[in-house]
């Protein structure tokens, strides 16, 4: 396969061009070999020959790819036919190449930044971190000054040091949507 004839006006109307081979620059073969031009390959596809294939999940295919590339550690791609990978979110790790989904941060570890290949930070001494823990300090998710309906939104259990959301502060009643919308929500 030869490169695409795009941008080469002389060959734009040809599907293939004849090629003759020489060893010395004077004597050319009479082989009647032709090279067929390939079409440009769209992003999200790879074109190893004259056919076109959808890029599988866990990989990416930029424009004119002849093969797909695995997502690097720290990245993943859950969908087929994509031109790039997605950075691993907070609370997850992406330890391997070619991941189609991130792995939940393990118990006892903290995954507080994006793009982690491995959990690098242990839970603070005296605390228990569930899987998918996203904060290294209770201060990052507990704000004493945060009030909702004039009530504290976060409550700390002084015996266990667990911090949880005060559900009683939220208005759980349904509210009707204003016209022209129809329906209700919380």
145: number of CA atoms within 13 Å, CB side? 2
Residues 6+ away with beta carbon under 8 Å from 39: 4, 47, 50
pTM of the model: 0.58
SS3 84: coil
Tokens of 186: 């919380």
pLDDT in tens, the chain (186 residues): 344 444 455 555 566 777 777 777 777 777 777 776 666 889 999 998 778 899 999 999 999 899 999 999 999 999 999 999 999 998 899 999 999 999 999 998 988 889 999 998 888 777 778 888 877 665 655 544 455 555 666 677 677 666 666 667 666 677 777 777 777 776
């Amino acid at each position: 396969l030869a490169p695409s004839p795009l941008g080469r006006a002389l060959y734009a109307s040809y599907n293939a061009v004849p090629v003759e081979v020489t060893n010395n620059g004077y004597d050319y073969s009479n082989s009647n070999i032709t090279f067929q031009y390939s079409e440009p390959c769209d992003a999200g596809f790879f074109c190893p020959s004259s056919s076109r294939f959808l890029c599988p999940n866990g990989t990416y295919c930029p424009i004119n790819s002849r093969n797909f590339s695995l997502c690097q550690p720290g990245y993943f791609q859950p969908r087929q036919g994509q031109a790039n990978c997605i950075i691993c979110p907070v609370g997850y790790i992406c330890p391997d190449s070619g991941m189609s989904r991130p792995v939940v941060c393990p118990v006892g570890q903290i995954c507080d930044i994006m793009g982690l290949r491995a959990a690098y930070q242990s839970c603070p001494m005296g605390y228990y971190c569930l899987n998918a823990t996203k904060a290294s300090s209770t201060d990052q998710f507990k704000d004493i000054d945060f009030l909702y309906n004039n009530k504290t939104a976060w409550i700390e259990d002084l015996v266990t040091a667990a911090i949880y959301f005060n559900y009683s502060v939220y208005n759980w009643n349904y509210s009707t949507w204003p016209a022209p919308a129809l329906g209700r929500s919380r």
